[in-house]
Amino acid sequence: MSNITVIIPAFNAEATILRAIKSCHDLANCRVLVVDDGSTDSTTSVARNSGAEVIQQPNAGASVARRTGISASNSEFIVLLDADDELITAGVNRSIELLKANPSACVAGGRVIGVLPNGRSRLLKRSYTEVTTQTLITVGFGPWPPAASVIRRSALEAAEQLVTQALSTRFAEDYELVIRLSMVGQIEVHDEPSTLYRLFAGKSSHAPSQALRDKERIRGYYAEATNTPVVLLSESDVASAAYNRAAKAAWANGQHARALGWAVRSAGKSPRLLAAKLQDRFSRLSKMAR
């Protein structure tokens, strides 16, 4: 039996799936399982020729494809890798080491190297020093993309059995999953880069308002379930944050004039949120200057 299964949901991913699969080849005792989510291109043949196992299903979305892969796996550990991202072996191995050393841990995750549309990459800043149910709900977003972490399979099963039922949202499923995992075990954090993550490539980049609404719905739901005090974003805050995301995506894609337009709209929608961001930025700069 394999020690770790890497599950890759894929839809029309013939251009990137080979790179994703190759990034798994240096992991010891690893099973690579691609779930072809109704592709109409050569995703399946490319994946099989690269040594991966493939399950084909009618198009149902990435979250359903991941569940299909999890159901078909029997390894102790699982990694959820997007078809356009890559794993970094040393980081994955460090996560496995931490999980083996701490039986109470259900997830271990490392740092993320973000890859911009122009191919440039950089080590992303860490948003969490401690990942708990309370910090996840309070901060309001996940600590990493899924591929930056290794999950204990038994913890996924335990998370499914929680009395608190899972929500059904189109976006922010990764955020909900890590909250549920935090409710059944500890989450370990380390500094080893664990994934190359394509920035501004996910579905939330194309529908930022709905992604933020779903994320806030998840926050409110689990805040109530765990009695965690939280101030949710107002509709103006959501709109401002969505415009800000659009501005970042446009800038990253070289559309600078469009990015400035989105930034102005973001500032106009929620001056309060803009002031909070500026205060946070000033605080970080002050710490760096000390």
Spatial separation of the C-alpha atoms in residues 282 and 93, rounded to whole Å? 37
Q: Report DSSP letters for 212-244, one per residue.
A: HHHHHHHHHHHHHHHT----PPPHHHHHHHHHH
- pLDDT per position as a tens digit, 167-189: 989 899 999 999 999 999 999 99
| Residue 117 and residue 252 in contact, taking contact as beta carbons nearer than 8 Å | yes
Separation between Cα atoms, residue 191 and residue 117, nearest integer Å: 25
CA pair distance 209, 266, nearest whole angstrom: 12
**Distance of alpha carbon 275 from alpha carbon 259, whole angstroms:** 19
The letter for the amino acid at 156 is L
CA distance 38 to 87: 24
Angstrom distance (rounded) from CA 216 to CA 233: 7
CB 13 within 8 A of CB 39: yes
Sign, CA dihedral 18-87-178-209, equals: negative
CB < 8 Å & 24+ apart, contacts of 249-256: 249/200, 249/205, 252/116, 252/117, 252/118, 252/199, 252/200, 253/117, 253/200, 254/117, 254/118
Candidates 46, 84, 97; CA nearest to 197 is 84
Domains and CATH numbers, the chain: 1-83 (3.90.550.10), 85-232 (3.90.550.10), 235-289 (no CATH)
Cβ atoms of 32 and 24 closer than 8 Å: yes
CA distance 149 to 160: 19
First to last CA, the chain: 52
Cα 28 to Cα 51: distance, rounded to the nearest angstrom: 14
pLDDT tens, position by position, 18-34? 999 999 999 999 999 99
Query: 160: left (phi > 0), else alpha (psi -120 to 50), else beta?
Result: alpha
Tens digit of pLDDT at every position of the chain (290 positions) = 469 999 999 999 999 999 999 999 999 999 999 999 999 999 999 999 999 999 999 999 999 999 999 999 999 999 999 999 999 999 999 999 999 999 999 999 999 999 999 999 999 999 898 999 999 999 999 999 999 999 999 999 999 999 999 998 989 999 999 999 999 999 999 999 999 999 987 777 778 899 999 999 999 999 999 999 999 999 998 888 888 888 888 888 888 888 888 788 887 776 665 555 545 544 543 443 44
Residue 228 and residue 121: Cα distance in Å, rounded? 36
